[in-house]
Homo-oligomer: A and B are copies of this chain.
Amino acid sequence: MSKDTTTTNLTAENPAGENTIIPKAVTFALAQSHFLVGDITANADKMRQLAIEARGQGADVIIFPELALLGYPPQDLLLRPSLSGRVKSALSALSDIEDIVMIVGYPHVDHHGTFNSAAILHNGHQKGFYHKQFLPNYGVFDERRYFDKGRNQVLFDYKGITIGLLICEDLWEKTPISDLKQQGADLIVCLNASPFETDKQDTRKAMLAKRSSEHKLPIVYVNAVGGQDDLVFDGGSMVTQADGTIAHEASRFLDQLMLTTLDVETLKFDSQAKAPLSLSRESEMYQALVVGLRDYVNHSGFTGVIIGLSGGIDSALTLCIAVDALGSDKVYAVMMPYEYTSKISLEDAQAQARRLNVSYTVCPIFDAVEGIRHTLAPLFNQSPADTTEENIQARARGVILMALSNKFGHLVLTTGNKSELAVGYSTLYGDMAGGFDVLKDVYKSQVYNLASYRNRLEDTPVIPERVITRPPSAELRPDQKDQDSLPDYEVLDGILSLYIDEDMGYQDIIDKGFDAAMVGKIIKMVDNSEYKRLQAPIGTKISHKAFGRERRYPLVNKWSVEG
């Protein structure tokens, strides 16, 4: 199908009507707010409240994030037959909001197809709609599974200025903004649902500066905020001047109704008195993990979470994040010692729980493990111990945690990190048993950085120093250390991040200075662990390539490592 370059111009009437003097300014409200996936009625109610609030503060136009009416990403809810009816009802329920233009992200269904759209609502009328032209279908995105491509530019005149609409991916491409400029746009409004990745806000800023300055167009960029399954939308909505400088930036990770006023003659925005602090890399990662967990737990209706503390750094950091996300009173820690649990592990687990003021129980698993081993003894026929016996310990802990979860209704958090998950250094149904893996996308070396970061936030470190300094161990056999089976985490994470996050091949990784045999071994471990990851719980994506929907590998896979 060829791209249709027809331009639709929509001219809204002057909302005041009686006033023929061209106004000097237009005030925009950026509704950076969390809209729940599927909850169309509640989302429309929220839009109504925000519109009334913004109007009260003097806003002329309020802009909601991409697809906010349905939430993002709705996945196969977009295929439900009642979608169109629900959306229409919700949009018409918004039609009694007067004296403010609402730009609403929603899924548009008509006889031409299903579109990822923005509706222009004004004084009870739907004044027009724009359909997203560029549909991302890579990484975590599957938009071509659901949506048809929009083929028209949409602009509307309002209070003397001409506003062009774009949605998310459109702005990352060159042509849509260029087309709008040619059609006479004075200003671009862009609706987004851009998920968090480390350093993503810097990338967005650079892109916005480039697009604004190359076309001499101010841009109003509204992002979604909040967690949805494995994704976190980090807000950070922005307004740029025509020269590419940032006039306003909203907070990261928080709901915010941000107002900004454009001088209609100069086409310049008023400038923010004080921009929000730029977040350090650790700070933004940590906040993403907190928000991802908080929203998953709260929106799934759990009253709390339960964590198996081992005395090690992964569960220590998971505990901190859980407490920061949910509060101490909703976090339950259980230490499940066995034969190989060291005294300092017991001490450190208790110390963490005490410092963070969470419920703490010690539940030794001797009886469970012995019962299982006794059951198996006739079948094992005195075969020598191997990793089977280690897995039994891990699985006994999994059974205990799940039983506590079933009995008391708390969600089990798992504590596996990305390095472990990558190479399969974990036990299915054991330490992998649980509903949410907080550190799923955090490499072990990043776990250390985040632990130190969290400790720096308070006068008394919440994670005992020796948890950070002692050599990591799964404590599943005497004197076990992670580095008995794995290279140093610096080397491991170096190879893993090139292979996974950068999608580099065997030879290219070796060319970066890593040992060939080690690279081959690690890649093979990653490829062979796909079956474990398939059954892993979800966890918040913070990297450029997270395990889960972003990285789709076959289980049966005969791709050779080398080459």
Q: How many monomers of this protein are in the complex?
A: 2
24 CB < 8 A contacts A-B: A2-B2, A36-B556, A37-B558, A38-B560, A74-B554, A77-B554, A77-B559, A81-B503, A82-B506, A137-B137, A137-B144, A138-B145, A145-B552, A299-B558, A367-B372, A368-B372, A372-B396, A372-B403, A375-B400, A391-B406, A395-B402, A398-B429, A399-B399, A399-B429
A36 touches B145 (CB 8 A): no
Q: Does A504 contact B (CB under 8 A)?
A: yes
Q: Given A372-B403, A386-B407, A392-B399, 15 more contacts at CB 8 Å?
A: A1-B2, A71-B558, A76-B551, A80-B505, A82-B505, A137-B142, A145-B552, A363-B376, A363-B379, A364-B375, A388-B403, A391-B406, A395-B403, A395-B429, A549-B552
Q: Would you call B387 and A395 a contact (CB within 8 A)? A: no
Instruction: Give the residues in chain B near A41, CB-CB below 8 Å.
Output: 560
| Alpha-carbon separation in the docked complex, A387 to B406 (Å) | 8
Segment of A237-245, A321-329, A535-543 engaged in the interface with chain B: A535-543
Tell me how many residues of A have a C-beta within 8 Å of chain B: 95
A434 CB, min distance to chain B CBs, angstroms: 9
Return chain B residues, CB-CB under 8 Å to A300.
531, 555-556
CB distance from A372 to the nearest CB of B (A): 5
A403 touches B387 (CB 8 A): no
State the Cβ distance, A374 to closest chain B Cβ, in Å: 4
Residues of B within 8 A of A229 (CB): 554-556
Q: How far is the CA of A86 from the CA of B558 in the complex (A)?
A: 13
Q: How far is the CB of A307 from chain B (nearest CB, A)?
A: 14
Q: Once the chains bind, are A295 and B400 in contact (CB under 8 Å)?
A: no
Residues of B within 8 A of A557 (CB): 37-38, 77
Q: In the complex, A551→B531 CA distance in Å?
A: 19
CB-based contact B367/A375 at 8 Å? yes
Interface status of A206 (Cβ within 8 A of chain B): no
Residues on B with C-beta less than 8 A from A551 are: 76
Contacts of A39 in B (CB 8 A): 558-560
A65 at the interface (CB under 8 A from B): no
A358 to chain B, nearest CB (A): 15
Residue A433 lies at the interface, judged by CB distance under 8 Å to chain B:
yes
CA distance A105 to B203 in the complex (A): 39
Q: Mark A387-431, 1 if CB is under 8 A from B, else 0.
A: 110011001101110111011000000000000000000001100
User: Is A375 within 8 A of B368, CB to CB?
Assistant: yes
Find chain B residues with CB under 8 A from A402 CB.
391, 395, 428-429
Give a binary string over A504-528; 1 marks a CB under 8 Å from any B CB, 0 the rest: 1111100000000000000000000
Q: A79, A372, A507: which has the most chain B beta carbons within 10 Å? A: A372
Contact A378 B363, beta carbon cutoff 8 Å: yes
Whole-angstrom distance between the Cβ of A367 and the nearest chain B Cβ: 4
Report if A161 contacts B (CB, 8 A).
no
The reply to whether the CB of A75 lies closer than 8 angstroms to some CB of chain B is: yes
Contacts of A392 in B (CB 8 A): 399, 403
A77 to B36, CA, bound (A): 34
A542 to chain B, nearest CB (A): 18
Complex Cα gap A516–B295 (Å): 32
Q: Which of B73, B428, B559 contacts A554 (CB 8 A)?
A: B73
A428 cross-chain contacts in B, Cβ below 8 A:
402, 433
**Is A494 located at the chain interface by the 8 A CB criterion?**
no
Q: Which residues of B contact A429 (CB under 8 A)?
A: 395, 398-399, 402, 429, 433
User: Are A406 and B378 in contact, CB atoms less than 8 angstroms apart?
Assistant: no
CB proximity of A78 to chain B, nearest CB, Å: 10
Judged by a CB distance under 8 angstroms, whether A478 is at the interface is no
Contacts of A367 on B, CB cut-off 8 Å? 371-372, 374-375
Interface string of A79-107 (1 = CB under 8 A from B): 11110011000000000000000000000
Chain B residues within an 8 Å CB radius of A228:
554, 556
What's the nearest-Cβ distance from chain B to residue A421, in Å? 14
Cα A402 to Cα B391 with chains together (Å): 9
Cβ of A207 under 8 Å from chain B:
no
8 Å CB contacts to B: which residues of A303-326?
none
State in angstroms the CA–CA spacing of A123 and B249 once bound together: 64
Question: Which residues in B have their C-beta under 8 angstroms from that of A469?
Answer: none
